[in-house]
Structure 1
Amino acid sequence: MGELIQSTRKKGSQSEKIAFDYLTKNNFSILNQNWRSGKYGEIDIIATDNSSGKLVFIEVKSRSTSTDDAKELVTKNKQRQLYKLAKSYLYLNGKENCSCRFDVIAIRINKEGNKLEHIRNAFYK
């Protein structure tokens, strides 16, 4: 059981590193990684999309098969949790009126290589 948790954490860290590299190469400025707020949990990456000026809350998901729909990887409960976290972040940083969006980056890691899918405005449009 412990090995499975370590393997999952390692895969998650690896996926977040891949997402970080992708974002910085694609005109995003990273503001925070693994931002936490009390009981609500964590936002994987908070960044500014320099092409639009929008603040972006990004959920990074690892997957092992290509059949998973990346949008489906973030459940309605997780979406609500991320929304609450984003509201907390905006309030704490004096950005309540800031234009923002929620993106999902899904990364498939396997022997053939890594495949990244970036879904902009994945939910709460």
Structure 2
Amino acid sequence: MDGEKRSHIELGELGETMAVAYLRRQGAKVLYRNYRGPKGGELDIVVRDADTLCFVEVKTRKRRAGSRPLDAVNVAKQELIERGARAWLKLLPDNDFFWRFDVVEVVLEENERPQLCWVKDAF
């Protein structure tokens, strides 16, 4: 972080941009960002990790408090992501492959290097 104040939206966008770069460095192929399904589902990032399609939620925090960013992916958020994934899968002619739900945690503490963690099969 450069010390300037960012809105919640800007912080999320920064985290997603960092997550995309991180996922690419880990060997994932980024297929899409910010997919919105017709019935309200949402996906931050869709990637292919080897032979698996991954629906990735990004959670960005300015500091590591008592809980992990992953903890913010509650049941309601999971349902939104699942709805987005179902809509995405309907777009594909063939769904005979592995897929999963992942979370990338991004922690941006002032005067520290960003910390990113890819939690595979998070829920």
1:9 maps to which residue?
Answer: 9
CA distance in 2, matches of 1:99, 1:121: 11
RMSD in angstroms over aligned alpha carbons? 1.4
2:68 maps to which residue?
Answer: 69
Provide the TM-score with structure 1 as the length reference. 0.85
1:47 maps to which residue?
Answer: 47
Q: Structure 1 regions of 5+ residues with no counterpart?
A: 1-5
SS of 2:7's equivalent in the other structure is helix
| Structure having greater relative contact order (Cα 8 Å, sep ≥ 6) | 2
Describe how 1:24-103 pairs up with structure 2 within 5 A.
24-50=24-50, 53-66=51-64, 67-103=66-102
**Deviation (angstroms), 1:56:** 0.3
Provide the TM-score with structure 2 as the length reference. 0.87
Q: Structure 2 regions of 5+ residues with no counterpart?
A: 1-5
Q: How big is each residue's C-alpha offset from its partner over 1:4-54, in whole Å with a ceiling of 9 and x where there is no partner?
A: xx611111111011100001111100100001112324200000002xx10
SS of 1:93's equivalent in the other structure is coil
Matched letter for residue 89 of structure 1? W
> Structure 1 stretches (4+) deviating beyond 2 angstroms?
94-98
Q: How many residues align?
A: 116
1:70 touches 1:117 (CA, 8 Å); kept in 2? no
* Percent identity over paired residues: 30
Matched letter for residue 109 of structure 1? L
Matched letter for residue 91 of structure 1? K
**Deviation (angstroms), 1:78:** 0.8
SS of 2:122's equivalent in the other structure is strand
